[in-house]
Amino acid sequence: MEQIEAVVIGAGAVGLACARALARRGIETIILERHDAFGTETSARNSEVIHAGLYYPSGSMKAALCVAGRDALYNFCASHQVSHRCCGKLIVASDESQMPKLQALQQQGMANGVIDLRLIDGDEAHALEPNLACHAALLSPSTGIVDSHGLMLALLGDAERHGALLALQSPLQHARVDNDGFVLEIGTGSDSTQLRARLVINAAGLSATQVARRIEGFPHAHCPTPYYAKGNYYALAGRAPFSRLIYPLPEPGGLGVHLTLDLGGQASFGPDVEWLPETWAEAPDYDVAPRRSEGFYAEVRRYWPQLPDGALSPAYSGVRPKISGPADPAADFLIQGPAIHGVAGLVNLFGIESPGLTSCLAIADAACEALER
């Protein structure tokens, strides 16, 4: 049976960052990915935003890892020639009644260490973005956008330079805990093989709970219930009306239908929040229904009244791997190591949704630290 020091399950942005962190520590590492390419799920289906870190409760992992991860990500992108742009963001209050929420968001961001936030009135916001309609806005200069595929390619390249290997089409079928670590059964049918590893990081994203349930000897009472929140995006025909990202105030389950830009200047609006049944994971469906765009027009026209009828077309969708449901308070990242579940050498990463892309490098360091505790 082949032996390896560490296995990372899942080759999205967070899994690749974890493999890089392990490999840079001199730990022999294999990344297991069930698909035929890396980064095809949550990491490829999002807004590609580098978040500043203002939304999350003080003291939460999301707050701490987003701020640390943002700075690390900008540095990594600059040093590894990953396309990105620090374009800034405006979070808008449509009228006076929303001002308390906007001011509270500023205070939350400052408490989290986002020190460059600035509250501006509608006239100043209009001067920055002439097509914008709002009563006031919160300017976040350190928000940006990134080429998520380019980022993952750079993370993989760095991991491989330090000795890590990527195994595609290698789903985990079963694992068991033994005295020397873990025995993992990988692959399907006659192509399955066994691998022994001392360390395992479960970075399977949408499938993280299902992966944890396949580990014999892991106390399944520590598996959170998975929830899936689909976000649909619609592309704007024609030229982008703004040079910065434009966000409304947050809504339950997400950050509201916002305008995001890609590095080519194409504007899209999204995501909405569409809660899916747990059975969705058995047969994933990313289709975007044209009819759902009807609700987008009213949302967008709150800050861009000139949005023409018929200007939005279905673009793509993504699904957030949540561990809290629609009636629950938003859950924090759960980096679950031996100190929590008692199984030496295992870290589960549960609920790694937004701001997971921004935080990927910081999450990786936290996962490695959790292995050592």
Low-confidence winner among 140-144, 177-181, 203-207 (lowest mean pLDDT): 177-181
Q: Are strands 144-146 and 136-140 parallel, antiparallel or unpaired?
A: unpaired
- Mean pLDDT over each residue of the chain, to the nearest integer: 96
Averaged pLDDT, 187-206: 93
Residue 275 and residue 229 in contact, taking contact as beta carbons nearer than 8 Å: yes
pLDDT at 281 over 70: yes
Averaged pLDDT, 277-287: 92
Q: What percent of the chain is helix, strand and coil (3-state, nearest 5)?
A: 35, 30, 40
Tens digit of each residue's pLDDT (9 = 90 or more) over 346-363? 999 999 999 999 999 999
Residues in the chain: 373
Residue 299 and residue 315 in contact, taking contact as beta carbons nearer than 8 Å: no
pLDDT tier at 174, thresholds 50, 70, 90: very high
How far is it, in rounded angstroms, from Cα 262 to Cα 269?
A: 11
Give the pLDDT of residue 1. Answer: 81
Tens digit of each residue's pLDDT (9 = 90 or more) over 289-319? 888 888 899 999 999 999 999 999 999 999 9
Averaged pLDDT, 180-196: 91
How far is it, in rounded angstroms, from Cα 335 to Cα 80?
A: 27
How far is it, in rounded angstroms, from Cα 65 to Cα 105?
A: 18
Give the pLDDT of residue 167. Answer: 97
Give the pLDDT of residue 253. Answer: 65
Helix (H, G, I), strand (E, B) or coil at 313: strand
Give the pLDDT of residue 139. Answer: 98
Structural domains of the chain ordered from first start? 2-47+149-224+331-372 (3.50.50.60), 86-142+226-322 (3.30.9.10)
pLDDT tier at 188, thresholds 50, 70, 90: confident
Tens digit of each residue's pLDDT (9 = 90 or more) over 18-69? 999 999 999 999 999 999 999 999 999 999 999 999 999 999 999 999 999 9
Give the pLDDT of residue 191. Answer: 81
Tens digit of each residue's pLDDT (9 = 90 or more) over 238-249? 899 999 999 999
pLDDT at 16 over 80: yes
Q: pTM for the whole thing?
A: 0.97
pLDDT at 254 over 80: no
Residue 202 and residue 321 in contact, taking contact as beta carbons nearer than 8 Å: no
What percent of the chain is modeled with pLDDT above 70?
A: 99
Q: Is 307 left (phi over 0), alpha (psi -120 to 50) or beta?
A: beta
Q: Is 11 exposed, middle or buried (0-12, 13-18, 19+ CB in 10 A)?
A: buried
Tens digit of each residue's pLDDT (9 = 90 or more) over 68-83? 999 999 999 999 999 9
Low-confidence winner among 77-81, 184-188, 334-338 (lowest mean pLDDT): 184-188
